[in-house]
Structures are given as structure tokens and as C-alpha cells.
Amino acid sequence: MTDNATHFYSYLAEGNIICRCKARTGAEVISELARLLARNNAGLSAESIVSEVLAREAVFPTVIAPGLAVPHARLAELDKPLVALASSRDGIDFQAPETGPVKVVLMLLTPGDDPGLHLQLLSALAKDFSTPGEIDKVADLPDAGAVMAHFNGSGLTIPDYLRVRDVMTRKVTTVLEQDTLQRAIELFAVTGESEMPVLDDDGDLRGVVSLLDLLKFSMPEHVLWLEDLTPMYRFQPFSEVLKGANDTKVADVMRTEFTSVSESVPAVQIAKLFLVNQIGQLIVVDSAGRLAGIVQLRKFAARLFWE
């Protein structure tokens, strides 16, 4: 990739920008931008674009920050990325009440066989628009020329490759090592998580606790070698654990050995670690060894192969 191609500006064109958009809903603005891209790029179908974008919209919410939506799709007929932008002072309803109306919509279409480029663009956009006031600034620009000038001077570049921090989940459900087992059980039930990092009172990473750890703690090891489980048909070992769940600490159940990865290494390392260790979740740490996030196999695979 050349130096020029690494700048986000190189993917924009004035003809693919709508300022002061009148669309009121996410579906309306997606249709407008799809028609724009189809009209300006031979061989593209607006209906096909809308279908692909809405299919992903239904599974992966595209409001990635308050005021910013990035509806996107991968198209087999593309050999380069296409970007269309719409801005709205009043805001567009993307049915995301927790983040409010969207003021900037960036439709991103990428080649179907280049997942790396797709994720690099998403990562760069998320980082750039996290700057306070950036979304409102773009929404207030009066015309396409002003939008082009803004991005030409913004220095928004596409990274040569993704790092772990670009694909990890930062909001992580955790437990303290001095929490009760009952607390952990409740969190597993409410959040749907299968594994949680364990921290001490200072926020340092001490280990992990998983549903498998909970099962292992409940069943005596010798039971795993028995063929006849008749004496435990009523789950007696689990009953005993539940009786003492308020007195047992997470520290008694957790594992101190787990697989972790630095947030700064290339993201492709994640795939290797999943395969080598045969696990479903990786702990991500920062340069000080503190918890920075997690990467779950199912989410990583979805982003890589389909999102």
C-alpha cells in the first residue's frame, strides 16, 4: 500500500457526500448512500448494497460511538474500498437509544476477500472520531468540499496492519478474588459470559474463573473416571457447592495460569494463540501487565469472516 493510499482522504469523493441530510431513519440514509455509490460506480446495485448492509446491521450494531454510525458490507465485486458520507445537524434515528441520534454516517464497502483492510478502516475511523467534538465538527460542515478539505487536513491514516488493541473488547465483566462464589455464579447467569478475569483490590490481574472451573470445583476428580454415576443422579456435589457459595471465595476456584496477549502485538497473533491453545477467550494485557480487554473466539471469527 502506498503512502497516499494509507490516507482515509484517498477513499473519499465529493460526489459520495451528502451534507445536511434529510433522512430521518437509519434505513433511509443507508438507502440514500447506497443509491449514491451505485450511481457513481459502474457495476454496483443499490438494492444489493442495501441488502448486504442491512443484513450486517441486524447482527452487528453499526453505531460505534455516540453520534457516529458506520454501516458496512463486503462485496465480492469490489477491488477497492468505497466510502460514502452523510451528515445531519438534527440527527438520524438508528434505533440506538443508549447513544442517541446519529449525526455522521459513513458507509463503508470493502472487497469481500480482504478482511484485514475492512477492519483497518473501521479501527481508524473509530479512533479518529473518538476525539472530543470531532463528530459535531463534521456534522456542521456546510458542503462536500468542506468535508473533503476537513479530511485532507485531518491526518486520518489507515494502519498497515491491525494490533490486538484494535479488535479486543474493552468493556469486560470482572470479579474480585475476594468476591464470593455466589457473586461469580450470579454474574455468569446475568451476563452470559463463560469466563471472567479475576482482579485484586488494586485492579491487578490475578487469574481467571470459568464455567468449566466451576464444574471442576463441584465434582470430585475421581468422578470423572466413573462409568456409573447413579449415586449422583440428583447432582449432589453441586448442591454442596451451592450451600457454601456465600462462604467460598473466587480465589478458591480461579486459575492463575491462563493465556494472555499484549495489546500491542499484531492481531494475527490472536489466531495462532486460539489454535495452539485450543481456547475460546484470550486475556489482553497492557505494557504494565494489567487487564486491557479480552478477545473472544466467536467475536473474532465473526469480525474476520463476516462482519
* 7 tagged catalytic: no
Check: CB of residue 135 under 8 Å from CB of residue 68.
yes
Check: CB of residue 49 under 8 Å from CB of residue 8.
no
Check 72, 118, 150, 222 and give the catalytic one.
72
The Cα–Cα gap between 216 and 208 comes to: 14
H-type alpha helices, 192-267:
211-218, 236-243
Cα–Cα distance list, 35 to 56, 268, 282, 293 (Å): 18, 35, 41, 38
Residue 180 gets which letter from DSSP? B
Residue 234 three-state SS: coil
Check: CB of residue 169 under 8 Å from CB of residue 294.
yes
The Cα–Cα gap between 167 and 304 comes to: 10
Check: CB of residue 181 under 8 Å from CB of residue 245.
yes
Check: CB of residue 295 under 8 Å from CB of residue 282.
yes
Active-site residue set: 72
